[in-house]
Chain A
Amino acid sequence: MHGLGTIFCHEMKKIGKEKSLLLGFILLPVISLLMTVGVSLLQPKGGEEAEAQAYRMFFAGVGIERINIGSVDGKDVWIEPVEEDVETFLKSDAFHEYDVLVDYSDIQNVHIYYYENNGISAYLKLSAESFVRESYSSVFAGRLPEGSQIRTTALTDLKEKENANRIIAMLLPYMLILPLTANIANFASDTVAGDKARGTFYQVMLSPVAPISLILGKIFSVCAISLLSSTLYIGLDVLGSVLCEKFGVRDVFGFSGVSVSSRQILLIVLYAVLLCYFFSNLGVLISLFCKDMNQAQIAQLPVTLLCTVSALLAMFRFGISPKSHYLIPIYNLCLIFQDLLNGRARLENMIMVAVCLFVLAVAVMVVTLLSYRSERVRT
């Protein structure tokens, strides 16, 4: 594998020095950021902020009077009694995303409902807990058997989390696949076809570097730079979402309500790396047969289009997909991305998709290596 590292580093440096490639590397994510923030700012204001004149802690299942207990961020904090059923109240418009609902129906197991991702409601939840404990002896002590203690169980409102994740799950394949294919088509076109057009490819072919080192060096560099660019792309999207939240604008892509575990993120990243490796192989293979960057970019269009269609199809699927769908390349990856975010991913499907993608990537790599020796590439 002599020369692999040298070629990898050289390719990375080359991309770093190429202004047009760098522009694509930075421009796409920045446009995406501006779009997220811009579209979010342009959307009609829901007036939720205006409506929230006060933060409220609702208490259900206990005869408590409406009471003001101070203020947070210049807004009054009110304790309000709730007479209706907890589940119905949670779904009603009366329950605001900053509010906390304390359910005393079972006074030994007090449930607290709040939006986990909301800093204010998390703070109010602590206040509620403290309020419950402080008033425990005076309000409830007489009703409980001697020696019994109140237990509070904090619950996150799953309704909001599920909704937010569903939107992201729907968009993620598109958001991941689009920048990846666009970036790979761009970088792969330059790495071989661009080299051929500039006349720099022959010099490397004449060196004693083994074909596998040369091809892998180029594939890995395309893979790495595309991953970096896509990370920047998604990272800036998330930043846009954070900015929206900071300025009190509800983010159209709904990142703010998303709750994903580190395991989910890790798995998504792993599949994204596999996807990137596969696309890089394909990009380099296509590029190998083209004479210049333009030809290579045009030749890569059907692949980009196919991936976009797969992502769109996955976006509008309903219900659980049959097992056979997990064998359709690219489309199966879109399904897995969605399943991972929706918490519906099954191990067998995950393995099937990973193996399918890896086998395909290796097959493309073998074809690339064989093609490297062909006359068409060398003349």
Chain B
Amino acid sequence: MITVSHLKKTFRRNKVEAVKDVSMEIRDGQIFALLGPNGAGKTTTMRMLSTLLLPTSGSICYDDVPLSEDTEAIRRRIAFLTNEIRLDGQFTPDELAEYYGRLYEMTPEKIAENKTKLFDYFGIAEFRNRRYETFSTGMKQKTSIAICLLHDPDTIIFDEPTNGLDILTQNLIEEYMLKLKEEGKCIILSTHILDLARRLSDRVGVIVDGKSVYVGEMAELASSQGVTTMEEAFLKLYKENHEEKAIVGKHKE
């Protein structure tokens, strides 16, 4: 379980307050969807959860262990998959699995076992000796997922995992996320595709302008806002919490 409490991130370089106050609880065996419009602070929150960025204030605890206490141990337990993450194009999936497996101090037997399982599932097995750079977008994404999950993490953070993929690959990834959930893994899914969140997630967190404005059961999102659909609830939350910076700027002129 991940407990995020009053998370704040201000970038020192440009003084941008990307995340102002985010709190949420993400449970094992569930898919937690993080929703929000573009620029709301989802990616920054994900980066903090994945240890890439340090929070300015607030805390992140993995099973009551603060992230700052033992970052390396927590990294062994998590996987972060974004569209930005790519693998070295000159290498084959086999070579990449070997490399990343070693970085996670996995035994050769364990690497081989997990690799076979994941490559078979994602249909990479027959291309295991082909260079990554020669793959199609979908195949690259599947290989990236397989490599990211090689060390069998407890927590998997997906940032827009199905963007730009065909329906077949999207479906395969969605099914795998459900499979991971059944295995008791803790899954965080950041997306702006509301339909994807509705289909997969158990709980949801909505971020607007760097603040978590709703955290709760997916099924209760609409009713909690007094509307009938998820889209309506999302728009209502956005309108109620969004600071109209552009209008303020106009008045000043």
Contact = CB atoms under 8 A, between A and B. Distances in A.
Contact of B75 (A13, A206, A378): A206
Interface stretch (A82-90, A207-215, A278-286, A328-336): A207-215
A265 interface: no
B148 A203 contact: yes
A319 interface: no
B76 A208 contact: yes
Nearest to A373: B54
B75 A379 contact: no
A205 B103 contact: no
Contact of B91 (A6, A17, A202, A210): A17
Nearest to A213: B103
A204 interface: yes
Contact of B103 (A3, A17, A199, A200): A3
Name which of A2, A203, A209, A210 has the most chain B CB atoms within 10 A of its CB: A203
Contacts of B75: 206-208
B105 A2 contact: yes
B86 A379 contact: no
Interface string A270-306: 0000000000000000000000000000000000000
Interface string B71-100: 011011011101011111111000100011
Contacts, number: 72
B79 to A, nearest CB: 8
B103 A207 contact: yes
B99 A6 contact: yes
B102 A14 contact: no
B96 to A, nearest CB: 9
Nearest to B77: A208
A202 B84 contact: yes
Interface string A363-379: 00000000001011011
Interface in B207-234: none
Chain A, interface residues (CB within 8 Å), range:
20 to 34
Interface stretch (B45-53, B186-194, B198-206): B45-53
Contact of A204 (B12, B72, B103): B103
Q: At the interface, is chain B mostly helix, strand, loop or mixed?
A: loop
A15 to B, nearest CB: 9
B102 A3 contact: yes
A207 B100 CA distance: 8
Chain B, interface residues (CB within 8 Å), range:
20 to 34
B11 interface: yes
A373 B71 CA distance: 13
A10 interface: yes
B252 interface: no
Interface string A206-240: 11111000000000000000000000000000000
Interface string B142-184: 0000011000000000000000000000000000000000000
Contacts of A210: 72
B99 A10 contact: yes
Interface in A181-200: 198-200
B164 to A, nearest CB: 14
B250 interface: no
Given A3-B103, A6-B99, A379-B11, A206 B50 contact: yes
Nearest to B10: A375
Contacts of A379: 11, 47, 53
Contacts of A378: 47, 52-53
A18 interface: yes
B104 A208 contact: yes
Name which of A2, A200, A376, A378 has the most chain B CB atoms within 10 A of its CB: A200
Interface string A235-268: 0000000000000000000000000000000000
A200 B88 contact: yes
Name which of A14, A204, A379 has the most chain B CB atoms within 10 A of its CB: A379
Name which of A208, A373, A379 has the most chain B CB atoms within 10 A of its CB: A208
Contact of B87 (A6, A200, A376): A200
Contacts of A6: 99, 102-103
B13 interface: yes
22 contacts: A3-B103, A10-B88, A10-B99, A13-B91, A13-B95, A14-B90, A18-B90, A200-B87, A202-B84, A203-B100, A205-B52, A206-B51, A206-B52, A206-B78, A206-B80, A207-B100, A207-B104, A208-B75, A208-B103, A208-B105, A378-B52, A379-B47
Given A6-B102, A208-B75, A375-B13, 4 more contacts: A10-B88, A205-B52, A375-B53, A379-B11
5 closest cross-chain pairs (CB), A and B: A199-B86, A17-B90, A207-B103, A208-B75, A6-B102
Interface of B: 11-13, 47, 50-54, 72-73, 75-76, 78-80, 82, 84-91, 95, 99-100, 102-105, 147-148
